Structure 1
Amino acid sequence: MKNQLDDFLELFCLHVSKTIEKSTSWVVNRVIPYIQQNYYDPNLSLEQIGEQFNVHPVYVSKVFKDHVGKGVLDYINNLRIEHSKLLLEEKKNATIEQIAELVGYQNVRTFSRVFKKYTNISPGKYRNESL
């Protein structure tokens, strides 16, 4: 009887684990593509993503971090900075302000601060060094 109960509990735990995994995999399947398609939206935020998927922002945050290994805002900022680096190299005539707007920052100071945080260099210096 004990062995049967152990087997049952093992199967039950496996089932619960798979159910939880399925219920949280929407982050990888839907939230990440949504962020990648909307990273340039200055209103993109944890709250906005929660509203989009009808889920509480705290839940989105926890599940995202568990699956991706970094927070939503960190993921968004990293994506924006990577795209801004490409734009800084390709759009030589665009101002830093224009680049900031193209990747979702409404304030050039915020863009510059975040850019430097992720690259250890200012956007202007990055552009000059990539020439």
Structure 2
Amino acid sequence: MSLYQRDLVLNDYHPKVFAYYFKTWEKHDMAFHTHKEVEIMYVIDGTCTVVAEKKSVAMKKGDFILLDSNIPHRLIVDQQSPCRMLNIEFSFIKKTGCFPSIKDLANQNKKFATFLSLNRPYIVLKDTNEIYHTLKNLVLELDKKESDKDIMIQLHLAQLFMQLARITAEEMKETHTHYQANVYVNKTIKYLHHNYDCDIQVKDVGQAVNLHPGYLHRIFKQQTGSTIMEYLTSLRMEKAKMLLADTEIPVTEICFYIGINSRQYFSALFKKHTTQTPLEYRRAFEQNIAKFRS
């Protein structure tokens, strides 16, 4: 049964673990295979690669992958880096006993209900230490011989599902935030390339992309590694180099073509970026062309 099968939220089912094991893999290249059960592969130590749906996923300590049932996958472990993993395979059976069903849990927890609707063949997540703690407790309970251990197993599984839902929701939120940041950064870059010849301030860019200047400044630095004004200055210097090399525009007028209204400031800025004055740059370029032609 798929983790995302509609019947899970329409009727009463309990999760049931069918297999679980610790394993240290050394130099291993597994063939593609599938499971009828949903599988969690947790990296305790080392590194490995999991290939699922023809996509390779590099994993390291603290990473884990949740594979839906019947998804072809394989494990690859490099000879130089053994990988210790905990694998748990589970499916769903008709509810028995008094513990809430998957449907009951989804009705009480919005994030879990959303999680059950994702319909992803696999999800790769980074643990915050809570998942491994829950998995270890689950394994310890599964190993016990007591006849009344089922309620504790269900408790641990329910805890696991709630944690998976919360981590996935946070990951999706971060992904969305990152996507939105990229959109604004790309708009900013496009604006700068179209308006570098104008007198531009950060507030002008913020107004152009419809975002608060302070927030735009922060996400632009995070995404590009430079501030908006640093990026604009680098862009202007590249345009100045092009104009000096490929046109006959007087050196004293170049600054006005790139949005800098001071010849002295432009000359100082250009030398800072190229170690040459604008005039030295043009002469050096002309000399190189002359040598090439001769």
TM-score by length of 1: 0.91
Q: Relative to 1, partners in 2 of residues 1:117 and 1:27: Cα closer, same or farther, differing over 3 Å?
A: farther
Task: Measure how far apart 1:103 and its partner are.
Answer: 1.0
Deviation of residue 113 (structure 1)?
1.3
- Give the SS at the match of 1:25: helix
- Cα distance, 1:29 vs. partner? 2.9
The offset of 1:96, in angstroms, is 2.1
Q: Report the CA distance between 1:56 and its aligned residue.
A: 1.6
Question: Unaligned stretches of 5+ in structure 2?
Answer: 1-157, 287-294
- Select the residue among 34, 39, 42 that pairs with 2:191: 34
SS in 1 for 2:168: helix
Corresponding residue number in structure 2 for 1:46: 202
Equivalent residue, structure 2, for 1:99? 254
Quick check: 1:122 aligned with 2:243? no
Match of 1:22 in 2: 179
| Partner amino acid, structure 2, of 1:59 | Y
Q: Relative contact order, CA 8 A, sep 6+: which one is greater?
A: 1
Q: For 1:91 and 1:118, how far apart are their aligned partners in 2?
A: 20
Q: Separation in 2 of the partners of 1:23 and 1:44? A: 23
Aligned mate of 2:235, from 49, 73, 79: 79
Q: Is the partner of 1:73 in helix, strand or coil?
A: helix
The total of aligned residue pairs comes to: 129
Deviations 1:27-61 (A, max 9, x none): 333111111111111x2121110121222211111
Percentage identity across aligned positions? Answer: 25
Cα distance, 1:129 vs structure 2 = 0.6
Query: Which digits, 9 at most, give the CA deviation of each residue in 1:6-37, with x for residues without a partner?
Result: 11111111111122112212233311111111
Equivalent-residue separation in structure 2 for 1:109 and 1:27 (angstroms): 33
Q: Take 1:26 and 1:117, find their aligned partners in 2: how far apart are those partners? A: 31
Following superposition, the deviation at residue 95 of structure 1 comes to 2.1
Is the CA contact 1:96–1:108 (under 8 Å) kept in the aligned structure 2? Answer: no
Q: Which has the higher helix share?
A: 1
Q: Is contact 1:40-1:104 (8 Å) kept?
A: yes
- Give 3-state SS (helix, strand or coil) of 2:260's partner: coil
> What TM-score, normalized to structure 2?
0.42
CA contact (8 A) 1:116 1:123 kept: yes
For structure 1, which runs of at least 5 residues remain unmatched after alignment?
A: none
State the secondary structure of the residue aligned to 1:106: coil
The alpha carbon displacement at 1:90 in A equals 1.9
Between 1:47-56 and 1:68-77, the stretch displaced more is 47-56
- Residue type matched to 1:3 in 2? L
Letter of the 1:11 partner, please give it: T
Q: What is the identity, as a one-letter code, of the residue corresponding to 1:127?
A: R
RMSD (CA atoms): 1.3
Give distance in 2, aligned partners of 1:12 and 1:4: 12
Could you tell me how far apart the structure 1 residues matched to 2:232 and 2:206 are? 14
* Pairwise CA distance, 1:91: 2.1
Tell me the residue number matched to 1:68: 224
The answer on 1:88 being equivalent to 2:244 is yes
Q: Distance in 2 between matches of 1:58 and 1:119?
A: 30
Deviations 1:78-114 (A, max 9, x none): 111111111111223x222211101111111111111
